[in-house]
Structure 1
C-alpha cells in the first residue's frame, strides 16, 4: 500500500526531531561567562591581596580540554589586563581551568 505524502512528511519531521534531541543530549559542558569572570576576579584578588577587580569575559567557557577564553580585567585605577582562561580537565559538568593574567597592561 503506497504511503501518502502527508504520512511521509510526518515521518520525516519525526525523524528530524529525534535527531535534534540526540544532538542536544551530547552537547559539551559550559560555564556561564559571568560565573567564569567572577571566579577569575576572586582568585586574582586572593593571589595579589588587592581588591576584587572587574573582570568580563566575552562568552561562556566550553568544557573541552585545551579550550581557552580571553577575558579582560579592569583594576580600580582604570588600567586593564588581558586574562587567559584555559580548560585543563572536564569531569561531567565540572570544568577545571588555569588562569594567567598578561604581564603588561593594555
Structure 2
C-alpha cells in the first residue's frame, strides 16, 4: 500500500510597531511520503510519480508534464537522486530529491531546485 502525505504550510502573522508581517514558508508543499516494502527502497517509478503529483514549478505553480529520475531512493536519511522535470511548454529543470525522514516503512522526501 502506498500513500501520499503532504504537509501543509501555515502562515504566521507578526505585529511589529503596528505593522503586520505575514511569513509564508511555502506556498506549496513539496514533501511526499511513500511506504516501502522489504527492499527498503522507494522505486524510481514511485519517485517520478510523487514528483509529478506534488512538485510545482517555481513561480508558475503548475504540475510538470514529465519527470525523469536517475533511480530510486534508499530508506535512509539524506539519500538523494537527481531528477529532470519538464514543464508543459518543454522547459527542463533539474531537481534533487532527498530523504528528509524515515519512520519505519514510511520515507519522506523533499525537492530542491538545482542551480543550472
Q: What is the TM-score with the length of structure 2 in the denominator?
A: 0.57
Give yes or no for contact 2:54–2:63 (8 Å, CA) kept in 1.
no
- How many equivalent pairs are there? 78
The structure whose residues are more often helix, as a share, is 1
Give yes or no for contact 2:57–2:87 (8 Å, CA) kept in 1.
no
Cα distance in 1 between the residues matched to 2:114 and 2:57: 17
Question: What's the Cα RMSD here?
Answer: 2.1
Point out where structure 2 has 5 or more consecutive residues left out of the alignment.
1-37
Determine which structure has more spread, i.e. the larger CA radius of gyration. 1
Return structure 1 stretches of 4+ with deviation > 3 angstroms: 45-49
Point out where structure 1 has 5 or more consecutive residues left out of the alignment.
1-26
Please state whether the residue corresponding to 1:71 is helix, strand or coil.
strand
**CA shift for structure 1 position 71:** 0.6
Q: What is the TM-score with the length of structure 1 in the denominator?
A: 0.62
